[in-house]
Structure 1
Amino acid sequence: MAQIDRAEEPTTSENPTAAVVGPGAIGTTVAAALHEAGRTPMLCGRTARERLELQDAEGLVVVPGPVRTDPARIEETVDLVFLAVKSTQIDAAAPWLAALCHTGTVVCVLQNGVEQESTVAPYVPGCPVLPSVVWFPAQVQPGGSVWLRGEARLTLPDVPAARVVLEALRGTRCSVDLAVDFTSVAWRKLLQNAAAGLMVLSGRRCGMFGRADIVRLSLDYLRECLDVARAEGAVLGDEVPQEIIDSFQAYPADMGTSILADREADRPLEWSIRNGVVLRRGRAHGLPTPISDVVVPLLAAASDGPG
């Protein structure tokens, strides 16, 4: 995993100004957490909206907008940008990053994968790019509101830039953990995301992990991913594949995943950063990846065609 660039010191403030780029499920959850604490962020996205809505078991949180849609009309930069667009949308988000960032602005990337820093850094020279692991299940509902189905938590690497995020989310519904060994945490989450990609190929939700044949396939795939993760420096035990299967089985049978939602909506899939990375890194280390050799081309075709 690429290391965090420490060449630029992050902007520090007791009350950092913040923007959320990409107010989807994850972005809305973070925006609601900031708003509840009196730190309402600037909202930036493709679709104009007057407000965001987050629903959980305790009620509804309304985040006042508007959602801005024109980066050319941004007149002030911020201390912290939460980049919550999919990895397939980074190019489209580049004008927002250029408009919102000054030297030292922290860009916290709320995306899947283990390549967040290397993919985003070229768009924000002079700014610390902070990868994260997102641990909460949030789903966009018909009409655009977001349903949060569990507690919100982020894991960040224990580096100076993380202090800005800690300050922004201090005392909110979104807790923040700092990990000295962020590589291991990020790869563990990647294993979970990689297995979730099997839902796309079956067109089914978490209930499919109740099938013995799917469990066998998933465990074989996860062990393959685990070998690659260890070659990349992750310290993960042999028990991790079964723990991931247990977590899928503990979810409601109708629980989906973002990559499945994208497939159902015929949107481009994050197949490269969730599954393709295992194939790429495995080949780089000379490791056999027979299941990835099948899964990755099928996901790529489902995403990009042709046909």
Structure 2
Amino acid sequence: MAQTSPEQSVRPRVAIVGPGAIGTTVAAALHAVGRTPLLCGRTARDGLELSTADAVIEVPGPVHTDPADIGGTVDLVFLAVKATQVDAAAPWLAALCHSGTVVCVLQNGVEQLAAVGPHAPAGAVLPAVVWFPAETQQNGSVRLRGPARLTLPNLPAARIVVDVLDGTLCAVELAPDFTSVAWRKLLQNAMAGLMALTGRRAGMFGRDDIAELSLDYLRECLAVARAEGAVLGDEVPRQILEAFQAFPPDQGTSILADREAGRPLEWSIRNDVVRRRGRARGIPTPISDIVVPLLAAASDGPG
């Protein structure tokens, strides 16, 4: 009978809920260093595949589809479902979490605590900012087009994530001012909504008219972010635009992929949050007032 080393006996048990582009990247990062996680999702699969510039990583399955079949709780859950799928993922959290389980939310927006908190143990939800370009391919595999990095708030709960991902292809950094980091990423996500409206990829930001609109929109979002406590300079809108302009022209984003696939869009947590919080603070958001209804209609219909 194989012996278990002391290191293996204390290694945290980890689950990935939502093995899409982000979840597959984290699962592959863990598997590549011998820390294969439990995989949980809506669709049964034999395994996952991640392609990077240097390698193809195949993560063995199965992808479990029934919370009753997982065989106990885990110490860390990476929740990688879309914001529109949180309620549907609640049975997974109920089955996977014990009183000390940390739920690291790999999700867009600045409202992860409010969305996921009701479904997780008290005080266990850890928001994260995801900084990597991962795209699902037509065959179901995932392509990682750049370095993978997560930013977490500098809280005690983050320690398990740092330890679990130590030495993997996914770097982790702790931010003393997580609010500013999260809002900066939200500005980037909000602007990406323009790609869903046009049906175009990153090359569209090379157009002068789109660049001008993007800057105006980002400055509107910046005013709201600052009112919410983010410390972000006047240079941030230009930096975000230039980053999009530097992407390969064919690079997409998750909200564009959802639009192309006819899936619901995360318009509320990526775009409407700016309008909602702007209104609450008396800040005009004229561009959001146009962008949000168009995204909502593109997502939810009717028509």
Q: Would you say same fold, with TM above 0.5?
A: yes
Q: Report the equivalent of 1:124.
A: 120
Q: In 1, Cα distance between the equivalents of 2:185 and 2:123? A: 25
Q: In 2, Cα distance between the equivalents of 1:258 and 1:289? A: 24
Matched, 1:43 2:61: no
Q: Report the equivalent of 2:6.
A: none
Q: Report the equivalent of 1:227.
A: 223
Select the structure with the greater relative contact order (CA < 8 A; seq sep ≥ 6).
1
Q: In 2, Cα distance between the equivalents of 1:46 and 1:128? A: 24
Q: Look up the equivalent residue of 1:248 and give its one-letter code.
A: F
- Matching residue within 108, 122, 138 for 2:104: 108
Q: Look up the equivalent residue of 1:156 and give its one-letter code.
A: L
Query: What are the residue-to-residue correspondences of 1:269-288 with 2, within 5 Å?
Result: 269-288=265-284
> Secondary structure of 2:12's partner?
coil
Identity %: 75
- Matching residue within 275, 296, 299 for 2:295: 299
- Matching residue within 109, 134, 137 for 2:133: 137
* 1:200-256 Cα shifts (integer Å, max 9, x gaps): 111111000000000100000000000000000000000000000000000000001
* 1:5-31 Cα shifts (integer Å, max 9, x gaps): xxxxxxxx9621100000000000000
Q: In 1, Cα distance between the equivalents of 2:249 and 2:263? A: 23
Any gaps of 5 or more consecutive residues in structure 2? 1-8
Q: Report the equivalent of 1:24.
A: 20
> Secondary structure of 1:53's partner?
strand
Q: Give the conservation status (yes or no) of the 8 Å contact 1:104–1:127.
A: no
Q: In 2, Cα distance between the equivalents of 1:64 and 1:200? A: 33
Q: Look up the equivalent residue of 2:177 and give its one-letter code.
A: D
Q: Give the conservation status (yes or no) of the 8 Å contact 2:101–2:124.
A: yes
Question: Deviation of residue 125 (structure 1)?
Answer: 3.0
Question: Deviation of residue 126 (structure 1)?
Answer: 2.9
Q: In 1, Cα distance between the equivalents of 2:123 and 2:62? A: 26
Any gaps of 5 or more consecutive residues in structure 1? 1-12
Q: In 1, Cα distance between the equivalents of 2:63 and 2:261? A: 22
Q: In 2, Cα distance between the equivalents of 1:183 and 1:115? A: 11
Q: In 1, Cα distance between the equivalents of 2:70 and 2:49? A: 23
> Secondary structure of 1:178's partner?
strand
Q: Report the equivalent of 2:203.
A: 207
Q: What stretches of structure 1 move > 3 A for 4+ residues in a row?
A: none
- State the TM-score, normalizing by the size of structure 1: 0.95
Question: Deviation of residue 127 (structure 1)?
Answer: 4.9
How many equivalent pairs are there?
295
Q: In 1, Cα distance between the equivalents of 2:88 and 2:30? A: 25
Q: Look up the equivalent residue of 1:117 and give its one-letter code.
A: L
Q: In 2, Cα distance between the equivalents of 1:130 and 1:37? A: 23
Q: In 2, Cα distance between the equivalents of 1:220 and 1:306? A: 29
- More off after superposition, 120-129 vs 233-242: 120-129
Q: In 2, Cα distance between the equivalents of 1:15 and 1:235? A: 37
Query: What are the residue-to-residue correspondences of 1:63-102 with 2, within 5 Å?
Result: 63-102=59-98
Q: Give the conservation status (yes or no) of the 8 Å contact 1:135–1:154.
A: yes
Task: Give the CA RMSD over aligned residues.
Answer: 0.9
Question: Deviation of residue 69 (structure 1)?
Answer: 0.5
> Secondary structure of 2:151's partner?
strand
> Secondary structure of 2:190's partner?
helix
